[in-house]
Amino acid sequence: MSNTRLIRLSMSVSAAYEVPMAGLWERVTGQPPVSFRREGADTAELSGYFPGSAPDPVAVRKAFARGILALRETHPGLASSRLVFKAIPREDWAESWKKHFPAVEIGAALLLKPSWSRRKPRPGQLELMLDPGLSFGTGHHATTAFCLRQLVKLRPRAEPRSLLDIGMGSGILAIAGAKLGYTPVDAFDFDPESLRVARGNAAINGVAEKVHLTRQDLGRLPLASRRRYDLVCANLEFDLLLREARRILNRLKPGGVLVLAGILDRQFAAVCSAYEKSGLAMVASRGQGEWRSGAFRA
């Protein structure tokens, strides 16, 4: 590896626009950003590292400005974000970004940690190893953390409980479910990269034989399902949660629990109303920053 310096590009964005801005980032720079948001914060930081010869600051700033103007047609509240370019010595780069991904505890039940962390689980605490990558889900985001708390709260005790994760991303929920004793554990995502990453993460965590991970398009699945689950997690975009409500509900057992996440606080009432009209009752809800998630019982 060359000893030339690297350039760290970063920007702070409103948590409400984290997803569209991450998409713009990838279109402009050619690579997805690392996204980090501290618990309770209303903003997220997008960042990436580039060889010292690229990208050109003037061209990148202009491209972001054009992209933000275009995004405002569908996201009128989107504000301009200041880009920061910083030279990083090559010998420091390999460690500098790791500080943004500390270990995460989900109560006394789970410890989520990246591979470089030396953190040890407490007695009785299950350990999940998960490095940040291209697929969503490290446990740091409010919506993922809510789903994990529900997995822990509803974990099987005397009798088996089944789990379906719709939109698995990194596979974090399926892996956690398998470690917590759910069986069977099924998960799917439309993104082929998510499937590749999730399978790798399942193998690293020793649960590859306990989880069934597939590539599926929710909108193309049969409306009815012969298999139903005690717990269904759907950490999806707002439009998809509304459009595919019947497909999601038809995979939930009578008396089962449906966890809905990935919802902006201002959109939550509409999602809640749609699912309560289908006969569900909300049993838990949590808001953090711009996000809100809920658990519903059939």
**pLDDT for residue 74:** 85
**pLDDT for residue 156:** 94
In the block, tokens 């479910």 appear at 177
Q: How many CB atoms lie within 10 A of CB 65?
A: 13
Q: How do strand 163-166 and strand 185-189 relate by DSSP bridges? A: parallel
On whether both 141 and 89 belong to a single domain, the answer is: no
Whether 295 and 257 have beta carbons less than 8 Å apart is answered as yes
Which is higher by pLDDT, 95 or 271?
271
Domain that holds residue 254: 136-297
Q: What is the pLDDT of residues 7-19, one digit of tens each?
A: 888 999 988 888 8
Q: Is residue 192 part of a domain?
A: yes
Q: What is the pLDDT of residues 78-133, one digit of tens each?
A: 888 888 888 876 655 455 556 667 788 898 999 998 888 888 999 999 999 987 65
Q: What is the pLDDT of residues 135-166, one digit of tens each?
A: 455 566 778 889 999 999 999 998 999 999 99
Q: What is the mean pLDDT of the chain?
A: 87
Domain count within the chain: 2
Angle between helices 172-180 and 192-204 (to 10 degrees): 30
On whether both 90 and 153 belong to a single domain, the answer is: no
Residue finishing a domain among 98, 122, 151: 98
* CB-based burial label for 179 (10 Å; 0-12, 13-18, 19+): buried
**pLDDT for residue 205:** 95
When pLDDT is cut at 50, 70 and 90, the band that residue 212 belongs to is very high
Whether 110 and 102 have beta carbons less than 8 Å apart is answered as no
Which is higher by pLDDT, 139 or 32?
32
On whether both 81 and 176 belong to a single domain, the answer is: no
Q: Is residue 244 part of a domain?
A: yes
**pLDDT for residue 2:** 43
On whether both 258 and 203 belong to a single domain, the answer is: yes
- Backbone φ and ψ for 253, nearest 5 degrees, come out as -70, 150
First-to-last C-alpha distance (Å) of the chain: 56
**pLDDT for residue 138:** 57
